Amino acid sequence: MQNNPNTTLVTQTAPIATATHGGRAKCLQRLVRLDLPVPTTVALSFEAVHKIAQGELPDIEAVLKQFPDDALLCVRPSSEDPDWGGPGAVLNIGMNDSSHATLCRDLGSDAATALYMRFVQYYAVHVARLDPDMFDNVTGNGPEGLKETLRAYEDETEESFPGNRATQLGAVLRSMARAWDGTTARLLRQAKGAPAEAGLGLVVQQMAFGVGIKKSGAGVLQLVDSNTGLPQITGRYLRQSQGRDALHAEAEALYLTKDPRGPSLEEEEPVLFKQLQDHAALMRVKLREEMQVEFTVDDGVLHILDGVRVARSPRAAVRIAVQLAKDKIIPQQEAVMRVEPSMLNELLHRQVDKDAARDVIGHGIAASPGAATGRIVFTAAEAQASASRNEDCVLVRRETSPEDIRGMHAAKAVLTERGGITSHAAVIGRGIGLPCVVGVSDIRFQTNDKQLMLKDGRIIKQGDVITIDGTSGDVLLGAPAMQEAALDDAFQNLMDWADAERDIGIRANADTPADAQTARNFNAQGIGLCRTEHMFFDINRLTVMREMIFAETGEDRRAVLERLLPMQRDDFTQLFRIMEGQPVCIRLFDPPLHEFLPTNRSGQRELAEALDLPLSDVTRRIEAMMEYNPMLGLRGVRLGVTVPEIYEMQARAIFEATLEASRDGDPVVPEIMIPLVSAKREVELVKTNIDSVAAAVHNERGESFDYRLGVMVETPRAALRAGDIAQHCAFLSFGTNDLTQMTYGLSRDDAGRFMSDYVRQEVFPEDPFHTLDLDGVGELLELGATRGRKTQPDVTLSICGEHGGNPESIAFCRARGFDYVSCSPFRVPGARLAAAQLAIAHKTL
Ligand code: PEP
Ligand code: MG
């Protein structure tokens, strides 16, 4: 049998591997090597199970020869990764009249009969796939019940129940192999990342009984708490039970360690408990992992049936990996590799407690992780009013616009009917760590009536309490229990170790001092994108901004901008100070100007009053500024070229802030980024203006300073012509949001409406606003980088779109020698970890 690669007795030296026999089989072999009391086990390879599913059974007699003639057996799944699941275990194979008779003698007839009945019923439903209703008429539990059970089986199948152990085992193997091939199982495991053709192994093990006259029972034990990862012996033991019954029978189960709530194994069976604890500690060290031990006590003798990786929350995953490294069980590099970067999201934000009841009333795109509860408000102004009353609120909008920024800052979470992963609400939400769900199509947003209509007809009104779960995309009614964010010492350790390995820079996209502080707290290496337009939506500035827009001449415009200058200077000085000499890349004004104008009649009337103009002048002017395609209209560098005063004011504010912040801190070298460029000449014109502002500030102040000018590559043409454009640039930063929008010709604000259909029908493998399209947009990045470097070999390269925080984008950029990626502050830790993992994988290749 040892030499048969497909049905292998698990011994210390048998040829068993995770890739051929699955994780459970391999783990059992490791336990055997540790001399732990593991019952005899035979492992069936993926190949063997695949053949079984096709109808070709292995030599069952050869398998059975490994076990005593009358031994009962169990079969368990052994997939390559335990998270991929598998069919449920089948226990007590070999039960028949004769083993029943033996058990009646050993265990007493009640226990033996109950086991036999349970087996026949389980076999009928899960192996022979018969209808569970067939046992509806079975009434008793004793010998009568058993007779009825066997009769029901016979009536249904017109055959007597198969008593032969080989027949039962063959049928169990066949049913488990086929279940793995079924569509549901396939979809379930694919959702967990398993490849379509993932294999299943099976292990056939001698039953350690757990039921007997003497001390018997079964349970599970682990050495850490699954939620926190802190040392804590957890589990249960149930006398006279099998498998994981202890976990389902809270009332009668024993605690493992001494516990005021009830009796414990430690007190009742101190010797056994000690043995068990020692075995678990040995497994932790030798298997280099926190393991849950599945054990059975059979007539006073301890058996270890299995060891599975302890299930763990993200917080526990970090602590377990770090502690294993601190205990020198695994190297630090391995600890870094063991934590999935996306898990960190859950640590950085409050989450809905996993055990809390969820009244889900809608579902949308999980646009910004974390969860928050509050009363519904429908306008930004109401959100601000709520905040001033210290009342938590959730801002509900059809979609948000820059005018909502202050309301978003005041709210605890945001919910929008429209939008996708790069829509305004999503970008801002991620930037400021505000839980956000967008694109919710199963709720009707009746915002004028200040209410939401649910699918089931229920109406949720302004003031009602809801919870936004931006991690799952769920909208919940009420206030479920929450779990706090966990930036503990283990997290800090892991991050330090990750930074020691990383070889690509990570910056943050940050627009406000609060964002910048978050970026610093998360150890970002500077700001990769400061979107300055958000600074103009402050209520004090908005009116000035509007005056500027309405100015007739350049002179008038300059005069109004003079009033904005000190405010902008202040903004930048604060950012520079917070970043303490780290680079800050400031993007010049980007959106179309009319985004700053009021959209409704009352706003227009207020504006007319403020500007002392007739209402008709205001409305005419607003109408004249309207564009059919504003995102492709007069915005970004096009404003810089046609209305140069705005960029001049911003450049002056940046330079004056540079001098101010450098005076009392590290010298600042600001980076100025021009958005939406598509031609070299645009850069030349803007550069000439900015250089002359720099010269003017230098002359006025008599102090010198450096600055770096660069371009945001976010139009396909800028990527194609990066060779020309880079001549004038110290850096090129790829804005993959707009670059994706323009490469696909797909509106980033509207794509959410049909994206799930597109992904479901496999038109796109993923939402390209979420996962960088490496083939198309990636090719433009590659072209842009190569061409840019050709004319300007030391040009700094980066990406700053929302993709910047995704491991696959980081891998792409790192492989092409980009200098850094920039992402929302809350994604910085995940990006640092992902970058470290890439570097480690590269070194250990
Ligand atoms: C981009 O277009 O990728 C970008 C980062 O800028 P914004 O999202 O502000 O358009
Ligand atoms: Mg852009």
Q: Do 707 and 670 touch, CB atoms closer than 8 A?
A: yes
Closest ligand to Cα 824: 1
**What's the CA gap between 576 and 579, in Å, rounded?**
5
**What's the CA gap between 200 and 399, in Å, rounded?**
46
> What is the structure's pLDDT at 664?
84
Over residues 364-415, the pLDDT tens digits come to 999 888 999 999 999 999 999 998 888 999 999 999 887 788 899 899 999 9
Closest ligand to Cα 531: 1
| Residue partners of 365: CB distance under 8 A and separation at least 6 | 419, 420, 421, 426, 437, 438, 439, 473, 752
Give distance in angstroms: CA of 621 to centre of ligand 1: 28
Q: What is the 3-state secondary structure (H, E, C) of 218-243?
A: EEEEEEECCCCCCEEEEEEEEECCCC
CA atoms within 13 A on the CB side of 804: 37
> What is the structure's pLDDT at 657?
97
Q: Which of 187-196, 495-504, 601-610, 752-761 has the lowest mean pLDDT?
A: 187-196
By most ligand atoms within 8 Å of CB, the mutation choice from 424, 531, 588, 744 for ligand 1 is 531
Ligand 1 pocket member 531 (CB < 6 A): yes
By most ligand atoms within 8 Å of CB, the mutation choice from 401, 430, 507, 738 for ligand 1 is 738
Q: Which residue has the tokens 């917080």?
A: 315
Q: What's the helix, strand, coil split of the chain in %, to 5?
A: 50, 20, 35
Looking at the chain, the domain(s) classified CATH 3.50.30.10 span 350-483
Q: Do 359 and 432 touch, CB atoms closer than 8 A?
A: no
> What is the structure's pLDDT at 684?
98
Average pLDDT over residues 437-466: 93
Top-level CATH class of 350-483?
alpha beta
**What's the CA gap between 435 and 411, in Å, rounded?**
10
Q: Do 269 and 286 touch, CB atoms closer than 8 A?
A: no
> What is the structure's pLDDT at 844?
83
Looking at the chain, the domain(s) classified CATH 3.30.470.20 span 217-312
Minimal CA–CA distance to 73: which of 82, 60, 83?
Answer: 60
Candidates 1.20.120.1200, 3.20.20.60, 3.40.50.410, 2.40.110.10; correct CATH number of 502-592+627-843? Answer: 3.20.20.60
The protein residue whose alpha carbon is closest to atom 9 in ligand 1 is 531
Q: How far is CA 79 from CA 76, 340, 580, in A?
A: 10, 20, 51
Does 736 carry a binding-site annotation?
A: yes
Neighbouring CB atoms inside 10 A of 751's CB total 23
* Per-residue pLDDT at 137 exceeds 90: no
What 3-state DSSP class applies to 181? helix
Ligand 1 pocket member 801 (CB < 6 A): yes
Does 738 carry a binding-site annotation?
A: yes
Minimal CA–CA distance to 660: which of 571, 729, 739?
Answer: 571
> What is the structure's pLDDT at 250?
62
The protein residue whose alpha carbon is closest to atom 8 in ligand 1 is 737
**Dihedrals phi, psi of 474, to nearest 5 degrees:** -85, 145
Atom from ligand 1 closest to the CA of residue 741: 2
Give distance in angstroms: CA of 585 to centre of ligand 1: 13
Residue 719, token pair as written in the block: 């990527």
Ligand 1 pocket member 805 (CB < 6 A): no
The CATH code that applies to domain 217-312 is 3.30.470.20
Give distance in angstroms: CA of 741 to centre of ligand 1: 10
Q: How far is CA 552 from CA 402, 548, 569, in A?
A: 25, 9, 25
Neighbouring CB atoms inside 10 A of 307's CB total 26
Does 587 carry a binding-site annotation?
A: yes
> What is the structure's pLDDT at 136?
86
Average pLDDT over residues 304-325: 94
> What is the structure's pLDDT at 251?
61
Does 163 carry a binding-site annotation?
A: no
Over residues 78-133, the pLDDT tens digits come to 999 988 888 989 999 999 999 999 989 888 888 889 889 999 999 999 999 999 89
Q: Do 28 and 14 touch, CB atoms closer than 8 A?
A: no
**What's the CA gap between 369 and 349, in Å, rounded?**
7
> What is the structure's pLDDT at 173?
97
Give distance in angstroms: CA of 188 to centre of ligand 2: 37
Ligand 1 pocket member 636 (CB < 6 A): no
Strand ranges in 700-786 using DSSP code E only, listed in sequence order: 708-713, 731-734
Give distance in angstroms: CA of 447 to centre of ligand 1: 28
* Residue 424 falls in the annotated catalytic set: yes
The protein residue whose alpha carbon is closest to atom 10 in ligand 1 is 738
Ligand 1 pocket member 736 (CB < 6 A): yes
Does 217 carry a binding-site annotation?
A: no
Which percentage of the chain shows pLDDT scores above 70?
99
Does 737 carry a binding-site annotation?
A: yes
* Per-residue pLDDT at 461 exceeds 90: yes
Neighbouring CB atoms inside 10 A of 581's CB total 15
Give distance in angstroms: CA of 712 to centre of ligand 2: 8
Q: Which residue has the tokens 């915002």?
A: 447
Minimal CA–CA distance to 331: which of 830, 828, 843?
Answer: 843
* Per-residue pLDDT at 3 exceeds 60: no
Closest ligand to Cα 509: 1
> What is the structure's pLDDT at 595?
86
CA atoms within 13 A on the CB side of 656: 17
> What is the structure's pLDDT at 170?
96
Ligand 1 pocket member 802 (CB < 6 A): no
Ligand 1 pocket member 714 (CB < 6 A): yes
Give distance in angstroms: CA of 735 to centre of ligand 1: 5
Ligand 1 pocket member 428 (CB < 6 A): no
Ligand 1 pocket member 30 (CB < 6 A): no
* Per-residue pLDDT at 528 exceeds 90: yes
Give distance in angstroms: CA of 465 to centre of ligand 2: 35
Q: Do 318 and 440 touch, CB atoms closer than 8 A?
A: no
Stated pTM of the model: 0.84
* Residue 729 falls in the annotated catalytic set: no
Q: State the DSSP H helix or E strand holding residue 468, giving kind and residue range, or none if neither.
A: strand 465-469
> What is the structure's pLDDT at 672?
98
**What's the CA gap between 480 and 484, in Å, rounded?**
13
Average pLDDT over residues 254-279: 91
> What is the structure's pLDDT at 57?
94
Angle of helix 601-611 relative to helix 615-625, nearest 10 degrees?
Answer: 110
**Dihedrals phi, psi of 579, to nearest 5 degrees:** -85, -5
Over residues 409-420, the pLDDT tens digits come to 899 999 999 988
Closest ligand to Cα 740: 1
Minimal CA–CA distance to 509: which of 487, 524, 495, 523?
Answer: 524
Q: Which of 100, 349, 424, 534 is catalytic?
A: 424
Q: Do 776 and 764 touch, CB atoms closer than 8 A?
A: no
> What is the structure's pLDDT at 405?
84
**What's the CA gap between 824 and 802, in Å, rounded?**
7
Closest ligand to Cα 781: 1
Q: What is the 3-state secondary structure (H, E, C) of 620-683?
A: HHHHHHCCCCHHHCCCCHHHHHHCCHHHHHHHHHHHHHHHHHHHCCCCCCCEEEECCCCCHHHH
Residue 519, token pair as written in the block: 């970026």
> What is the structure's pLDDT at 67?
96
Q: Do 744 and 738 touch, CB atoms closer than 8 A?
A: no
By most ligand atoms within 8 Å of CB, the mutation choice from 714, 746, 802 for ligand 1 is 714
**What's the CA gap between 835 and 819, in Å, rounded?**
12
Over residues 772-791, the pLDDT tens digits come to 999 999 999 999 999 999 99
What 3-state DSSP class applies to 747? coil
* Per-residue pLDDT at 721 exceeds 70: yes
**What's the CA gap between 746 and 795, in Å, rounded?**
30
* Per-residue pLDDT at 35 exceeds 70: yes
Q: Are strands 413-416 and 436-438 parallel, antiparallel or unpaired?
A: parallel
Q: Which of 31-40, 691-700, 755-764 has the lowest mean pLDDT?
A: 755-764
> What is the structure's pLDDT at 614?
92
Which percentage of the chain shows pLDDT scores above 90?
69
Closest ligand to Cα 736: 1
What 3-state DSSP class applies to 482? strand
Looking at the chain, the domain(s) classified CATH 3.30.1490.20 span 7-206
> What is the structure's pLDDT at 419?
86
Neighbouring CB atoms inside 10 A of 167's CB total 12
Please compute Rg for the chain using Cα positions: 33
By most ligand atoms within 8 Å of CB, the mutation choice from 400, 405, 421, 422 for ligand 1 is 422
Mean pLDDT of the chain: 92
Average pLDDT over residues 617-623: 91
Ligand 1 pocket member 735 (CB < 6 A): yes
Ligand 1 pocket member 800 (CB < 6 A): yes
Atom from ligand 1 closest to the CA of residue 734: 3
Over residues 649-669, the pLDDT tens digits come to 999 999 999 999 999 888 999
Looking at the chain, the domain(s) classified CATH 3.20.20.60 span 502-592+627-843
Where would I find the H helices in 108-244?
109-122, 143-157, 165-181, 183-191
Q: Are strands 291-298 and 217-224 parallel, antiparallel or unpaired?
A: antiparallel
* Per-residue pLDDT at 239 exceeds 90: no
**What's the CA gap between 138 and 113, in Å, rounded?**
14
Residue 105, token pair as written in the block: 């003698």
> What is the structure's pLDDT at 249?
63
Residue 182, token pair as written in the block: 């079924």
Candidates 2.120.10.30, 3.40.50.150, 3.30.1490.20, 3.40.1360.10; correct CATH number of 7-206? Answer: 3.30.1490.20
Give distance in angstroms: CA of 714 to centre of ligand 2: 6
Give distance in angstroms: CA of 635 to centre of ligand 1: 13
Residue 34, token pair as written in the block: 């540790």
Give distance in angstroms: CA of 98 to centre of ligand 2: 76
The protein residue whose alpha carbon is closest to atom 5 in ligand 1 is 801
Atom from ligand 1 closest to the CA of residue 422: 8
Over residues 48-69, the pLDDT tens digits come to 999 999 999 999 999 999 999 9
> What is the structure's pLDDT at 649?
96
> What is the structure's pLDDT at 2?
52
Atom from ligand 1 closest to the CA of residue 427: 8
Ranked by mean pLDDT, the top range of 289-298, 612-621, 714-723, 760-769 is 714-723
Angle of helix 777-791 relative to helix 807-815, nearest 10 degrees?
Answer: 30
Confidence of residue 354 (pLDDT cuts 50, 70, 90): confident
Q: Which of 12-21, 503-512, 756-765 has the lowest mean pLDDT?
A: 756-765
Ligand 1 pocket member 737 (CB < 6 A): yes
Q: Which of 60-74, 128-142, 293-307, 809-823 has the lowest mean pLDDT?
A: 128-142
Closest ligand to Cα 529: 1
- What 683-691 contacts at long range (C-beta under 8 Å, 24+ apart), as own/partner pairs, is 683/637, 683/711, 683/725, 683/728, 683/729, 684/728, 685/640, 685/641, 685/644, 686/588, 686/637, 686/640, 686/641, 686/644, 686/647, 687/728, 689/640, 689/644, 689/647, 689/648, 689/651, 690/647, 690/648, 690/651
Give distance in angstroms: CA of 801 to centre of ligand 2: 8
By most ligand atoms within 8 Å of CB, the mutation choice from 529, 631, 746 for ligand 1 is 529
By most ligand atoms within 8 Å of CB, the mutation choice from 737, 746, 820 for ligand 1 is 737
> What is the structure's pLDDT at 755?
86
Over residues 178-194, the pLDDT tens digits come to 999 888 788 888 878 88
Q: State the DSSP H helix or E strand holding residue 64, giving kind and residue range, or none if neither.
A: helix 60-64
| Residue partners of 240: CB distance under 8 A and separation at least 6 | 111, 210, 211, 212, 216, 217
Ligand 1 pocket member 533 (CB < 6 A): no
Does 300 carry a binding-site annotation?
A: no
Query: Which amino acid would we find at residue 611?
Result: L
**What's the CA gap between 247 and 331, in Å, rounded?**
34
Q: Which of 27, 800, 813, 823 is catalytic?
A: 800
> What is the structure's pLDDT at 536?
85
